[in-house]
Amino acid sequence: MLTWLAGHGDIRRIGSGNIGATNVLRTGSKGLAALTVLLDLAKGAVAVVIAQKWGHSAALVAAGGVILGHMFPVWLGFRGGKGVATALGVLIPLAWPVALVTAFLWLATALISHYSSLAALVAAVAGLTLAAVVADKGTALLISGIALLIIARHHANIRRLLAGTESRISLGKS
């Protein structure tokens, strides 16, 4: 909706066709891409924070639901985003130390490599590893499941990274 409102048309017809922030960045609008990240992050965090009012189990169910809903939305024919920003949003209220480390690793990897997909993969692996150490069992299992879904959703990116054909991103000023 953001790209359409900004006059760029349907994001599913631009670049990779993905609805995520990295593809929004391909429109040339870093501000629109940043807004996409913030809204996806907020969606994950708000779902968990609201559900926490009914307990930790409800928060875990909400976290899983918001991730699955983002990745496989019914109204988009089950073709949604890859879940990276929404996962970070989920992590903030569930396991903030994991959120902090994964966000730092994503940013560092993206700045060094200029590959958003590689940054997402590094953050996902780090998140599931760290969650096993710092989170309770249920939260760690959920985070591991989310990380594995993110990795699976990046299957085409992994092939392109290995082939040397993955698109790079620019996070600096234009």
36-56 pLDDT tens trace: 889 999 999 999 999 999 999
Tokens 């809204």 map to which residue?
A: 39
Q: How far apart are CA 44 and CA 41, in angstroms?
A: 5
Q: How far apart are CA 88 and CA 25, in angstroms?
A: 19
120, amino acid identity: A
Q: How far apart are CA 161 and CA 109, in angstroms?
A: 14
Helix (H, G, I), strand (E, B) or coil at 154: coil
Counting the structural domains of the chain, the total is 1
For residue 75, pLDDT over 60 is answered with yes
* CB-CB neighbours of 173 under 10 Å: 5
Residue 170 lies in a domain: no
26, two tokens: 């391909």
Residue 108 lies in a domain: yes
Res 11: pLDDT: 62
Residue 172 lies in a domain: no
Residue 83 lies in a domain: yes
**Residue-range definition of the domain harbouring residue 28:** 2-163
Residue 169 lies in a domain: no
User: Buried b vs exposed e over 72-89: b needs ≥16 C-beta within 10 Å?
Assistant: beeeeeeebbbbbbbbbb
Residue 113 lies in a domain: yes
Residue 174 lies in a domain: no
Res 36: pLDDT: 84
Residue 130 lies in a domain: yes
* pLDDT confidence tier of residue 13, bands split at 50, 70 and 90: low
Question: pTM value?
Answer: 0.89
